[in-house]
Structure 1
């Protein structure tokens, strides 16, 4: 069986379940050794055909040493002066808002300067227009009502009030600025512009920062809702996957059962030379025992009576159910449907353990370098005093609560 496993690099899960931890480790080591051997053999066939890439530059990494001589390590957040991630993000958002506000204030300042220049160029025209208007107003005293109405309809719309309403710039401030310029107080003008720009920057910074916070909170809420939706979707997919896996296992179980039933009807009953592979079915195991093992006295004492520890062909679950209420150290021996041999089921402290026994020319546990015994009874007696691979000794045989399996096996007696 070991040769077959190493050849196929595959272990049947049901056979694997019959092995204890040490036997599993031994089997996996053998499989790993076989993989390495195959890889070395394949590598030797390739030879030196593949070019080797040799790098002339070697990268070195050096670490800053601390006072204790060990590599210096700094973990963000552990020092008392370290800022929290919330503080860092808040400062970054404020700095981002400040830069945006400064850029906007600079653009508005340039716009104000352009409007102020336009107003300075327009002031003489407006004053001339106002002077002309006053002259006309003085003459309107002597006009009739109809003549006055005609003059009002003929008056141009481009007046000072119309210009002020059309432009966003505050002309009251502009007049004050012009007055200060005329008085050669350019320093005061620069100070007023700087204060205005600073005030505008602070107000816009606060406004932009609030907008950024609102946007961040909205993004966080959307991310949280999306995470909840993903969690629900993942749980639904997990449920469907488990359901599909359960259906696949049920289909595989039924297929194995049908295969065993059909195989057991057409098998050869001469199992004396069959010692490798997995038995094709339950009936094959029974025939194998009757044709070969019964004559060797397996499970029988010197008087040809059935040993109290031999339970015939029962399943792993049936064995564990029998051992569940028994004291630690209780054991039984049963025929196995996974190998051509037997299984020793043992009641340990933490769980029930199962050890596979190979029945070839002699009897030994499954694996390499195992002690061989002339009979199954000799193996059981040996481990009354010598521990198994798990460190336990076989202390008490488990009593049989039913004779159905024994009657099925020795029905001809």
Structure 2
């Protein structure tokens, strides 16, 4: 059974359930030893195969790099040698070669057509310069004296009855105007020297040489123009990319500067928080933190209005109560006031209030918990039944730093008071 388990590396759950802990431990050790043995055998076989493979590969061809004077692989960099062509020269030669090849292809396409046209031109030239027979003045000898006395009709009869001697005729060549009619169907009657193949070939060769030269120049100029346009487009695209990159860099720097500014303000605010407290015990915040501005307003309407927090006996708002304003807004109001000026505002950090005080060279802020009674946040603080009692107490009794609450700060945000008393 053990040999079968080690061979299959599998234990039936029913068999395993019948074994005690010592037997299970022994079986586990045996299976682990078998795993290690198999792994070593596999690793040895893998090493033997690798050695054999390396031995076979050692007989194969290999590549060796030519060494330079410094013993390192010799490297040739295009354009560094004095005999190397510049990239502009290489591009010019490639454009010229491409233009020549394209011109040859185009010339080859129309060569046969030009050969036919040259042959037709030779025939046309022959027709326009064909010989015309010009008869010389007719001279007739008077055979007898009796001819003098012949009538006109008799003399004409003698002329027509006498045969003409063609040897006396002369051939004069002169061009004939285009109204002379000739059909190319009569080309078979044209002399062979007119339609001589060699003559046609010579004309075609002259035409081909001139056409090839002109066409090569034309194509080369087009290729150069395209290259210049492509280079101009690439330059413009590079300028656009550079401008885009600069804009992105500017935005990144601006965003980084904004992050730095936010971090600087956070550090400064943290520093002010630590400096503006007269007593470190006042900085301890209750564990219950309002979830937001709306929750603070609802808390005041439902709880604190019943306790007349910030209100006088006639339910009028106390001059020092400013509602729910921020720390920055309170400092903005206090900085223009004399030392000793203070205000009370709702806090979003705890279920309570904050007293902001204008000190000699800065503003100070104190957190006031409203649960269950009114007192500064911290340990062993004096409790007051109402918020007004706490403010009246510190009119005469100084805070930890020796300051007393002397002058209520005029309101600068009346909307903050109005929203506290809006109907639901």
Return the TM-score normalized by structure 1: 0.35
Q: Highest CA radius of gyration, 1 or 2? A: 2
Return the TM-score normalized by structure 2: 0.34
- Greater length-normalized contact order (CA 8 Å, ≥ 6 residues apart): 1
